[in-house]
Structure 1
């Protein structure tokens, strides 16, 4: 097997993706059941081109995902997540969440299916707060979960509309929260501000 050192200086070669090592940089955005969702960017600050790949280290194969034909040319923000459960299906989906122009905090999801090798443009949209963490998505039980600081978090099922997922609240002010999955269980950890008074 191959291993990539976690402690390094400078660029690290990924041994199981030789064909991708020519890219200027590769970021692993997400992993699901041995598949990696990766991103490579080229260009400058004014014109950045992002390419997305699904990589399988066990087979040493990868596939570049075509970008959806966006009906809105001037979208502001977009995020990419992956949904894959090998125990249920050999096919994966990529969710492209984009902000609706002229409607801040409103987003629409587009879904790519590896089964059909095509995109489906969703008719639904949903409004979220600015503190939702689209970049830190967690896939569990067929749904993409997005953590949201100080507010209800969201999950998205590719076949249904997104729904809020209430997180237990406390009276203490939250400083930071983290959402993750381990052995099929979704966990949320929270840290708080602590005020100490000396009398």
Structure 2
């Protein structure tokens, strides 16, 4: 009978499951069990329902987030407007979102260091990460990333890159595991974390969590490196993407990494030179690249600060669609082209 009940509950929307926890102790036990959350996420590419948008001008005084739902045919309220369920959430910001979980930090005071949190905005549960043993007066955190694949495990890891305590020319890694609750330090550098290194020549690095190994991936060959900048680097539905845009053109390529991490290849060709649109690099920002289950579901989310709007550009049929208005003007009347965009996926996973 329990197996039949589980099969039924697995077909129920997550929002309804949160309400069903109050029906009985047995239902509560089933829905909150870590194994049940894994069963809910057996799809390796869970659907991204929308994006939370943040602007640096509004965060310190008003830590609220604008939500853009991808399916306009389904009216929906924002899942949340702030992260007040986190204790001492004043000035808190989202650093990363990954498969339903979010990595966040608060604005530190002069006497206290930054606190880091992993939260599940669907269940409104969170955990405070232990203080880094590597962050001292002479050592700082250069980057921190969340790694979480609910189709493989209900546990997540947070990887922190700091200055090495033994050599000023090297970096040291700390890894927090939710399974053990421990923060472990390492002196060395598909289950990997990727980033772009801008020290010297542009380099794509990855750290494999399973084998605790650092690797280097050759960057794609760009025809013209003059006046170009990395405009987007991110993952969607199991695909890693990279774009490099020139200041003088609106034609560029979107690269995708091969599954074996061997090289990049051109996945999409973009051309914004259209009589109905006047986009150039100076007045648009790529916020996110979204891949869906179908080929035609792939699109870019673009911010046009000068026009105070966020747009959707379909990568297959080359059409634009307005998502929402978004004002990025500060109190002094200055505009920021830097907007954070973080995916929202419903999840029951524990933190």
TM tier, shorter chain? 0.7 to 0.9
Q: For the pair shown, which has the larger CA radius of gyration, 1 or 2?
A: 2
What residue in structure 1 maps to residue 235 of structure 2?
A: 181
What count of residue pairs does the alignment treat as equivalent? 177
What residue in structure 2 maps to residue 55 of structure 1?
A: 119
Q: 1:27 aligns with which of 93, 99, 111?
A: 93
The reply to whether residue 147 of structure 1 matches residue 196 of structure 2 is yes
TM-score norm. by structure 2 comes to 0.45
Shift in Å, 1:69: 2.3
Change (3 A) 1:167 1:69: same
Q: How many angstroms apart in 2 are the aligned matches of 1:168 and 1:107?
A: 25
Say whether the 8 Å CA contact 2:104–2:118 is kept in structure 1: yes
Change (3 A) 1:71 1:62: closer
Q: How many angstroms apart in 2 are the aligned matches of 1:169 and 1:4?
A: 31
Query: Could you say which structure has the greater relative contact order, defined with CA pairs below 8 angstroms and 6 or more residues apart?
Result: 2
What residue in structure 2 maps to residue 43 of structure 1?
A: 109
User: Mind listing any 5+ residue stretches in structure 2 that lack a counterpart?
Assistant: 1-14, 16-49, 65-79, 250-351
Shift in Å, 1:80: 1.4
SS of 1:50 mapped into structure 2:
coil
Say whether the 8 Å CA contact 1:35–1:54 is kept in structure 2: yes
TM-score norm. by structure 1 comes to 0.75
Say whether the 8 Å CA contact 1:24–1:42 is kept in structure 2: no
Q: How many angstroms apart in 2 are the aligned matches of 1:57 and 1:122?
A: 31
Say whether the 8 Å CA contact 2:191–2:208 is kept in structure 1: yes
Say whether the 8 Å CA contact 2:194–2:205 is kept in structure 1: yes
Q: 2:207 aligns with which of 153, 156, 159?
A: 156
Within 5 A, what are the aligned runs for 1:43-192? 43-44=109-110, 47-70=111-134, 74-100=138-164, 103-125=167-189, 141-149=190-198, 150-158=201-209, 159-173=211-225, 175-177=228-230, 178-192=232-246
The superposition leaves residues 106-133 of structure 1 with CA deviations (integer Å, 9 ceiling, x where unpaired) of 21111010000001111314xxxxxxxx
- Judging by fraction of residues, say which structure has more helix: 2
- Judging by fraction of residues, say which structure has more strand: 1
Shift in Å, 1:160: 1.9
Q: How many angstroms apart in 2 are the aligned matches of 1:4 and 1:184?
A: 17
